[in-house]
Amino acid sequence: LVDEAYKHIAETDGKVKAFLTLDEERARKAAQEMDDKIGTPESENVLFGMPIGIKDNIVTKDLRTTCASKILENFDPIYDATVMEKLHKQNTITIGKLNMDEFAMGSSTENSAFQITHNPWNLDTVPGGSSGGSAAAVAAGEVPFALGSDTGGSIRQPAAFCGVVGMKPTYGRVSRFGLVAFASSLDQIGPITRTVEDNAYLLQAIAGLDPHDSTSADVEVPNYVEALTGDVKGLKIAVPKEYLGEGVGEEARQAVLDALKLLEKLGAAWEEVSLPHSKYGVATYYLLASSEASSNLARFDGVRYGYRSPNATNLEELYKKTRSEGFGDEVKRRIMLGTFALSAGYYDAYYKKAQQVRTLIKKDFDEVLEKYDVIIGPTTPTPAFKIGEKIEDPLTMYANDILTIPVNLAGVPGISIPCGFVDGLPLGLQIIGKHFDESTVYRVAHAFE
Ligand code: GLN
């Protein structure tokens, strides 16, 4: 399998450009060690020897971790993220690190400081972002498993654009220890795979309480694979009218309605509901995520990690020049926006107000999910767009996340699964569940396979 992965990467990655770093020597050695374990009880595990690609904002011991930023260009972590430790226990094999928008800020992977990843379905289009490398690598068949991170849609949107399965677990389900922080109250690591079943296995492996992350939850991790019964009879599905209304493409709307028809045939029932505050999601998110980012990214000062400007003559200049030279434009835009929103005099009008609206958005979700098992809608309003099409206009780029962002603000789990095509480009169906009820989300998703 490891052979296959590297062979396939050699053939396809020159065009797709999903990987930033490959770890071939170590992976082959690990594979050999695993060969010796075949036949032992350990090898019965489904993930045993499975190749996996890791988004480059998850720290990997002695394996370059750049966050696709110049400021971490030469950064080799001295420890593993908790998810990596958990994967090692399952004997997966890390193939390499995957491209992303710098510090996970973006929706197209065009904000990477190093390379543009191309959507394997059409190389002129973006793979989505920020976990674009993860989704593209799985879609191109380079690796069967990948990890991404989702702060405002960064697993689900690229999964939709690349026609693969991407799960953002409930906030707190997966440890964030070793995930380079972007917006700590929203960030979650999650699996990107070709099938729902693979996805369930991978989440099973990485989920659970972690003493290193105080926001990881002490909630039992159920057996997700057991939830894949194919039985959705009697399930109650909510379809928010805001998710099928203005701004959502006709094809995406139709694809969701077709999917609902299928679920009806299988015995589920759906009704239209409203998430009235969702329309404020994008504005709320960009204030809160940027505020948290402005604080989280203060640590990149040229002293502790990575890049240090060679042009500084005193300490203040060192900070200034390192950050000016090390960060890309989008990261600087977020830091400035966040610093402004948190500054005295503006805090109440922006940061505090955004927190209040976040509570209203969460309440909308809680109320609907009290009465229904899942919420269903499109993952994105339209399929993948052309490379270069939105990069000059941050507001249009931000609007692309309109259907995924509210889910992060509410903290609930959401998955994107493939759901038809427009002009040869995949569309995604989003299934959103109750807090810590990834099982029902998987059950509904699996009904389509
Ligand atoms: N596209 C959104 C942003 O730019 C979401 C990113 C993410 O989920 N990491 O912030």
Q: Write the single-letter amino acid at 175.
A: S
Residue 395 has pLDDT above 90, yes or no: no
- How many A from CA of 131 to the centre of ligand 1? 9
Reported as a single tens digit per residue, the pLDDT across 331-341 is: 999 999 999 99
Reported as a single tens digit per residue, the pLDDT across 210-252 is: 999 999 999 999 999 999 999 999 999 999 999 998 889 999 9
Q: Considering the candidates 108, 112, 130, 149, report the single residue annotated as catalytic.
A: 130
Give the three-state DSSP class for 156: helix
Q: Which atom of ligand 1 is nearest to the CA of 401?
A: 1
Side-chain half-sphere exposure of 71, counting CA atoms within 13 A: 28
Give the C-alpha separation, 347 to 312, whole Å: 33
Task: Quote the pLDDT of residue 369.
Answer: 98
Q: Which atom of ligand 1 is nearest to the CA of 285?
A: 10
Residue 445 has pLDDT above 90, yes or no: yes
- How many A from CA of 253 to the centre of ligand 1? 23
As a whole number of angstroms, the longest Cα–Cα distance in the chain is: 71
Task: Quote the pLDDT of residue 23.
Answer: 98
- How many A from CA of 375 to the centre of ligand 1? 21
For residues 15, 192, 293, 69, the Cα torsion angle rounded to the nearest 10 degrees is: -30
* Alpha carbon nearest to ligand 1 atom 4, residue: 106
Reported as a single tens digit per residue, the pLDDT across 253-298 is: 999 999 999 999 999 999 999 999 999 999 999 999 999 999 999 9
Residue 400 near ligand 1, beta carbon < 6 Å:
no
Residue 65 has pLDDT above 90, yes or no: yes
Contact yes or no for 294/182 (Cβ under 8 A) = no
- How many A from CA of 38 to the centre of ligand 1? 41
DSSP 349: I
- How many A from CA of 152 to the centre of ligand 1? 5
Reading across the β-sheet that carries 188-193, which strands appear in turn? 19-22, 93-98, 51-55, 145-150, 188-193, 165-168, 414-422, 425-433, 374-378, 236-240, 269-273
130 is catalytic: yes
Q: Considering the candidates 55, 86, 97, 434, report the single residue annotated as catalytic.
A: 55
Residue listed under structure tokens 């992976």: 27
- How many A from CA of 101 to the centre of ligand 1? 9
User: What are phi and psi for residue 88, nearest 5 degrees?
Assistant: -60, -35
Mutate to test the pocket of ligand 1, among 69, 110, 151 (most ligand atoms within 8 A of CB): 151
Task: Quote the pLDDT of residue 398.
Answer: 85
Going 109 to 336 to 324 to 148, the CA torsion angle's sign is: negative
Task: Quote the pLDDT of residue 247.
Answer: 86
Banded pLDDT at 399 (limits 50, 70, 90) = confident
Give the three-state DSSP class for 272: strand
DSSP 119: B
DSSP 35: H
Task: Quote the pLDDT of residue 303.
Answer: 94
**Residues sharing a CB contact under 8 Å with residue 380, sequence separation 6 or more, in sequence order:** 128, 157, 160, 161, 252, 400, 403, 404, 427, 428
Banded pLDDT at 170 (limits 50, 70, 90) = very high
Residue 81 near ligand 1, beta carbon < 6 Å:
no
Residue 307 has pLDDT above 90, yes or no: yes
Residue 305 has pLDDT above 90, yes or no: no
Residue 328 near ligand 1, beta carbon < 6 Å:
no
Residue 154 near ligand 1, beta carbon < 6 Å:
yes
Enclosing H/E stretch for 54: strand 51-55
Residue 106 near ligand 1, beta carbon < 6 Å:
yes
Q: Which atom of ligand 1 is nearest to the CA of 408?
A: 8
Strands 165-168 and 188-193: antiparallel
Mutate to test the pocket of ligand 1, among 102, 105, 157, 337 (most ligand atoms within 8 A of CB): 105
Residue 107 near ligand 1, beta carbon < 6 Å:
yes
Mean per-residue pLDDT of the chain: 97
- Please give the average per-residue pLDDT across 46-67, as a whole number: 98
Mutate to test the pocket of ligand 1, among 154, 157, 167, 334 (most ligand atoms within 8 A of CB): 154
Residue 394 has pLDDT above 90, yes or no: no
**Residues sharing a CB contact under 8 Å with residue 371, sequence separation 6 or more, in sequence order:** 236, 238
Query: Above pLDDT 90, what percent of the chain?
Result: 96
Residue 244 near ligand 1, beta carbon < 6 Å:
no
Residue 152 near ligand 1, beta carbon < 6 Å:
yes
Residue 400 has pLDDT above 90, yes or no: no
Task: Quote the pLDDT of residue 197.
Answer: 98
Q: Which atom of ligand 1 is nearest to the CA of 105?
A: 4
Residue 391 near ligand 1, beta carbon < 6 Å:
no
